[in-house]
Chains A and B, each alone.
Chain A
Amino acid sequence: MTTQAMIESDTFQAAFEALDTQSPLHELRSKGFERFRELGFPTRRDEEWRYTNIKPITTTTFKPASGSITKESITPYTLSDTSCHQMVFVNGRFAAELSDVGTLEAGVRLESIATISESSFDMIAPHLGSCAEIEREVFTALNTAFIEDGLFLLVPRDVDLEKPVHVIFITTLGSAAVVTHPRILIVAEENSRATIIETYGSDGDGVCLTNPVTEIIVGENAIIDHYKIEQESEEAYHISSLNVRQHRSSNVTSHNYSFGGRLVRNNLNCALDDEGCEATFNGLTIGHGRQHVDNYLRIDHNKPNCNSWEYYKTVLDDQSRGVFCGRIYVAPDAQKTDAKQTSMNLLLSEEASITTMPQLDIFADDVKCTHGATIGQIEESQLFYLQSRGIDKVAAKTLLIYAFANETIAEIKIEELRTRLERVLLDRLPRGELLQGGL
């Protein structure tokens, strides 16, 4: 570890020492902290961080977030008309008064990690940390060092969790920079099904580091629909990691929407560990101002006959920057792999930029793997066509941006979530109000 990294990690030392050493989580935390000290923060010399400079994070002193909020502060993020199991975390801590767990199917466990680690630690112990790699990812190690609370969901064998689980993480912001390390652990047993929505938001303005880690263990033939919506303050630093491990014939769809944040990095790791798995990763990033959003995917085809699809779209305005890295690894015996990655990017200003790196590491010989990336501006011919039909230039532009971006929203199965994200998208477009009501 470099001296610089040593100093930086020292700012976390005091916070680590303040943790309750009697907690059943502490052994895992200690491993995480140790690994964090060993790895140190990456620099742009590290291949995986070449295009994302985290210096603003490493040079900021963060305090643990604290404080409470009212119900009104979460209304922009809640789904009011959709029946769901709502779990709200304020500054990383479960807020029972803002949550509504509702009635669960028999055997389903939906609890805060703080609660379950005290009452039935054995239930989470085998899974927690089982697919989130502290060896490789320093931010995952950092999160692990500070696991205090978060969401635990267990869907037992053969159970269809009918209503989605909506977990909202809100940080209260102010003059001091604050940090939270939310943790989510989802265990979907054989032949079960669940939908999970993660929403990240802010209360107020200010700087924060949100460092969530999600682990999803997907049993044989289980079906998981996962949504992640980043809507934090545009001063927020957000480094997330989604880690999925799939067993035989399971099906996972991830939808990753980035609207907020100043510097956002989403690490998405998926291990297809048995035959017949299907994994879909869809993403949409809308950047403006000086936002920087980096989506870093890695899908490991470890066994034969699995399919994976990556479909990421980015729209960048002003001086915003985007990074997409979609890495597909195909193990030597993972024959009949079918993997496709697509990165489509729309740049609205001269100064916006995107770096897109589709990568295929293929060690099997009977596979179908394709990748494609496009970077473009608004098509002049389309703009002229719309104008020639009486639609003014700004409205025509808005229409074209919306049409490009909305494709990834249109497929959201939860109607209220879909309309809410459409609205979030339209709010970001000039004259977006013209398009209320959809295309």
Chain B
Amino acid sequence: MTMLEIRNLHASIEGKEILKGIDLVVNAGEVHSIMGPNGSGKSTLARVLAGEACYEVTEGEILFKGKNLLDLEPDERAREGVFMAFQYPVEVPGVSTKYFLKASVNAMRKHRGLDELDAFDFLELIKEKLKLVHMDESLLDRAVNEGFSGGEKKRAEIFQMAMLDPCLGVLDETDSGLDIDALRIVAEGVNKLRGPDRSFILITHYQRLLNYVVPDFVHVLLDGRIVRSGGKELALELEENGYSFINGEINEPVSV
């Protein structure tokens, strides 16, 4: 089954075109990695998928489970099953993580025609999912992402993803800035969430994450276009040769 289909996607911010015709098909259960140097448009793609208003789609379409994703508000996309793990998770002072998750989980459940979780079941669910990312319950009483370390923020994103049970997880450089322990925890979390009905797009600058989460496909994004696609071996090739072997003008090595 096709989960996501992106056709000839062009997107701009403040009049500057960033995505210049992206085509991508992601089937249910597949893990796709999108790699590319800084400024190639990787994060823009993630944010356009999530529906951030500052990006304007000028051409093309995105079908998610057959629905036109571009017609939907960000919250509607989330309720349909799109989850983006933010590169820079936003701090929301004054709102406890527990309340935020409850509002969020119940909005999802309502959309799926399920009853709201009662306090007991909600807490059970939280405990189970926290284990996935080795986080402590004390997190729940803290304001959303406020005062979290970089690693905690990224792990909290994976925890939220587990709580919300999406069909498509888009991880926007979730690996960047992590130490190796946190990287392993994040990767382990993603691996446990992999399944035949769930797809992932892993956006990453570096190949290291892919040692832990093995993708089905790797795409190289350069200057707003996918210039090469292949299997997991493409990531290794990039690791050895940098992006330069794809485009002679770009000499940025892919560090390990």
Are chains A and B native binding partners rather than an unrelated pairing?
yes
Known: A391-B75, A403-B92, A403-B94. A386 touches B100 (CB 8 A): yes
- Establish whether residues A390 and B79, one from each chain, have CB atoms under 8 Å apart when the complex forms: yes
- Identify 27 residue pairs between A and B in the complex whose beta-carbon atoms are under 8 Å apart, listed by A's number: A380-B54, A382-B92, A384-B50, A385-B92, A386-B75, A386-B100, A386-B104, A387-B74, A387-B75, A387-B78, A388-B50, A388-B51, A388-B78, A388-B83, A388-B84, A389-B100, A391-B103, A391-B104, A399-B95, A400-B92, A403-B92, A403-B93, A403-B94, A434-B103, A438-B99, A439-B94, A439-B99
Let me know if A80 is at the binding interface, CB within 8 A. no
Let me know if A392 is at the binding interface, CB within 8 A. yes
Which of A380, A387, A388 has the most chain B CB atoms inside 10 A of its CB?
A: A388
Let me know if B128 is at the binding interface, CB within 8 A. no
- Establish whether residues A403 and B160, one from each chain, have CB atoms under 8 Å apart when the complex forms: no
Q: For the complex, what is the distance from the CA of A390 to the CA of B102, rounded to whole Å?
A: 11
- Establish whether residues A388 and B103, one from each chain, have CB atoms under 8 Å apart when the complex forms: no
Known: A380-B53, A403-B94, A403-B95. A390 touches B89 (CB 8 A): no
- Establish whether residues B108 and A390, one from each chain, have CB atoms under 8 Å apart when the complex forms: yes
- Chain B residues near A400 (CB-CB < 8 A): 92, 95
Q: For the complex, what is the distance from the CA of A379 to the CA of B53, rounded to whole Å?
A: 13
Let me know if A395 is at the binding interface, CB within 8 A. yes
Let me know if B236 is at the binding interface, CB within 8 A. no
Chain A residues at the B interface, C-beta cutoff of 8 Å: 379-382, 384-393, 395-396, 399-400, 402-404, 406-407, 434, 438-439
Q: For the complex, what is the distance from the CA of A297 to the CA of B4, rounded to whole Å?
A: 58
- Chain A residues near B83 (CB-CB < 8 A): 388
- Chain A residues near B74 (CB-CB < 8 A): 384, 387-388
Complex A-B, nearest 4 residue pairs according to Cβ-Cβ distance, in ascending order: A403-B94, A385-B90, A390-B78, A387-B74
Chain B residues at the A interface, C-beta cutoff of 8 Å: 50-54, 73-75, 77-79, 83-84, 86, 89-96, 99-100, 103-104, 107-108, 111, 143-144, 160, 164
Q: How far is the CB of A408 from chain B (nearest CB, A)?
A: 11
- Establish whether residues A393 and B78, one from each chain, have CB atoms under 8 Å apart when the complex forms: no
Q: How far is the CB of B109 from chain A (nearest CB, A)?
A: 10
Given contacts A380-B54, A387-B78, A390-B108, 15 further A-B contacts (CB under 8 A): A382-B91, A385-B86, A386-B92, A387-B51, A387-B73, A388-B86, A389-B100, A389-B104, A389-B160, A391-B75, A392-B73, A392-B107, A399-B95, A399-B100, A400-B95
- Establish whether residues A393 and B75, one from each chain, have CB atoms under 8 Å apart when the complex forms: yes
Q: For the complex, what is the distance from the CA of A128 to the CA of B235, rounded to whole Å?
A: 82
A-B contact count, CB below 8 Å?
A: 82
- Closest-by-CB residue of A relative to B99 is A439
Known: A380-B53, A438-B99, A439-B99. A390 touches B94 (CB 8 A): no
- Establish whether residues A382 and B90, one from each chain, have CB atoms under 8 Å apart when the complex forms: yes
- Chain A residues near B90 (CB-CB < 8 A): 379, 381-382, 384-385
Contact of B94 among A380, A393, A407, A434 (CB under 8 A): A407
Q: For the complex, what is the distance from the CA of A404 to the CA of B143, rounded to whole Å?
A: 12
Q: How far is the CB of A362 from chain B (nearest CB, A)?
A: 31
Contact of A391 among B77, B86, B96, B107 (CB under 8 A): B107
Q: For the complex, what is the distance from the CA of A6 to the CA of B100, rounded to whole Å?
A: 58
Q: For the complex, what is the distance from the CA of A387 to the CA of B103, rounded to whole Å?
A: 11
- Chain A residues near B96 (CB-CB < 8 A): 439
- Establish whether residues A399 and B103, one from each chain, have CB atoms under 8 Å apart when the complex forms: yes
- Establish whether residues A395 and B103, one from each chain, have CB atoms under 8 Å apart when the complex forms: yes
Q: How far is the CB of A419 from chain B (nearest CB, A)?
A: 16
Q: How far is the CB of B108 from chain A (nearest CB, A)?
A: 5
Q: How far is the CB of A97 from chain B (nearest CB, A)?
A: 42
- Closest-by-CB residue of A relative to B93 is A403
Q: How far is the CB of A195 from chain B (nearest CB, A)?
A: 25
Q: How far is the CB of B144 from chain A (nearest CB, A)?
A: 8
Q: For the complex, what is the distance from the CA of A376 to the CA of B79, rounded to whole Å?
A: 29
- Closest-by-CB residue of A relative to B109 is A390
Q: For the complex, what is the distance from the CA of A380 to the CA of B55, rounded to whole Å?
A: 13
- Chain B residues near A406 (CB-CB < 8 A): 94
Contact of B53 among A384, A402, A403, A438 (CB under 8 A): A384
- Chain A residues near B111 (CB-CB < 8 A): 390
- Closest-by-CB residue of B relative to A389 is B104
Contact of A385 among B53, B89, B108 (CB under 8 A): B89
Q: How far is the CB of B154 from chain A (nearest CB, A)?
A: 14
- Establish whether residues A390 and B107, one from each chain, have CB atoms under 8 Å apart when the complex forms: yes
Q: For the complex, what is the distance from the CA of A379 to the CA of B144, rounded to whole Å?
A: 14
- Closest-by-CB residue of A relative to B104 is A389
Q: How far is the CB of B169 from chain A (nearest CB, A)?
A: 12
- Closest-by-CB residue of A relative to B74 is A387
- Chain B residues near A384 (CB-CB < 8 A): 50, 52-53, 74, 90
- Chain B residues near A381 (CB-CB < 8 A): 90
- Establish whether residues B94 and A404, one from each chain, have CB atoms under 8 Å apart when the complex forms: yes
- Chain B residues near A402 (CB-CB < 8 A): 94
Q: For the complex, what is the distance from the CA of A84 to the CA of B73, rounded to whole Å?
A: 50
- Closest-by-CB residue of B relative to A403 is B94
Q: For the complex, what is the distance from the CA of A53 to the CA of B57, rounded to whole Å?
A: 48
Q: How far is the CB of B44 from chain A (nearest CB, A)?
A: 14
- Chain B residues near A392 (CB-CB < 8 A): 73, 75, 107
Q: For the complex, what is the distance from the CA of A392 to the CA of B79, rounded to whole Å?
A: 10
